[in-house]
Amino acid sequence: MRFSIATWNINSVRIRMELIARFLRSERPDILCLQELKSPADKIACSAFAEMGYDQSVLRGQKAYNGVAVFSRIPITDMGSKDMLGNGSARHVAVQLDNGIIIENFYVPAGGYEPDPVTNPKFGEKLDYVRAMRDWSRQEQPTRKILVGDLNIAPQEDDVWSHRQLLNVVSHTPVEVDLLNSVIEGGNWTDIVRADIPHGKLYSWWSYRSPDWDAADKGRRLDHIWATPDLVRDHHCSRILRSVRGWERPSDHVPVIAEFDL
DNA sequence: ATGGTAGGTCTCCTA
């Protein structure tokens, strides 16, 4: 038996319910992890998810900003949230499957524009957040875990449209890439999508500001699926659903999907 | 070198 898991930065869950329904009807992932809900939990139409078979949900909402959720067709248990910066922002939630697998759903801070923690505190917060993830990864038992989410860092050269031109752009700076790699090493994580698709450009996000995102194709791979060694197989059928970026009124991120043994 | 768009909202902040 296998199960499929999808991660998607939805950029407002309320205005994109139709888009989510279209995605769930066509792809039918067993588990959907969302980030950037931009909504309090009590304003999210969980009944609409339940009608499509996703009757299990664990939400961490917040007014206007952040927010993460897990919707599932298979049983999940709420395993709590980590408040990495101690500021109450809803950026993480964990759930457990009946077989013991734990799913960690993260929304890492974007970090603002200027890649300097002194002049831009938001960048400092982002670095602090990823440092906290590294420290947490080192403490965890490195087994039976899947980590997904919008990590807001594109670590490899082929994860951005131009490695050279993005070296000083937040999301691909060496300090961010080094930190993200230290999280991977600290938790003994495998980057499942890159293990499946090791070569070539791979993006999960295209800016709203590009008038023709498809032709310009100045994307970045910000959304990730990782797993601990015991869950890694030869292939996980990873897919990044680029076409969803072309749907009507899209998120600037597209869903990423992988499959695991249940 | 610059500006471009989107969403939610204490009309500006965040992405």
Closest CA to A147 of A101, A200, A204: A101
For residue A161, what is the enclosing H or E element?
A: none
What are the tens digits of pLDDT across the range A220-249?
A: 999 999 999 999 999 999 999 999 999 999
Task: Tell me the C-alpha distance between A4 and A257, whole Å.
Answer: 7
For residue A4, what is the enclosing H or E element?
A: strand A2-9
Residue A32 CA to nucleotide B2 C1', Å? 38
Output the pLDDT for position A225: 98
Chain B bases closer than 7 A to any CB of the protein: 3-9, 14-15
CB atoms within 10 A of CB A94: 21
Residue A1 CA to nucleotide B14 C1', Å? 41
H-type alpha helices, A146-218: 174-187, 192-196, 213-216
**A241-246 own/partner pairs: CB under 8 Å, 24+ apart:** A241/A23, A241/A27, A242/A203, A244/A19, A244/A23, A245/A206, A245/A213, A245/A214, A246/A214
Smallest CA–C1' distance to B4, residue? A209
- Write down the pTM of the prediction: 0.98
Output the pLDDT for position A127: 98
What are the tens digits of pLDDT across the range A154-200?
A: 999 999 999 999 999 999 999 999 999 999 999 999 999 999 999 99
What are the tens digits of pLDDT across the range A183-194?
A: 999 999 999 999
Task: Tell me the C-alpha distance between A180 and A186, whole Å.
Answer: 10
Output the pLDDT for position A114: 96
- Is pLDDT at A12 greater than 90 in this prediction? yes
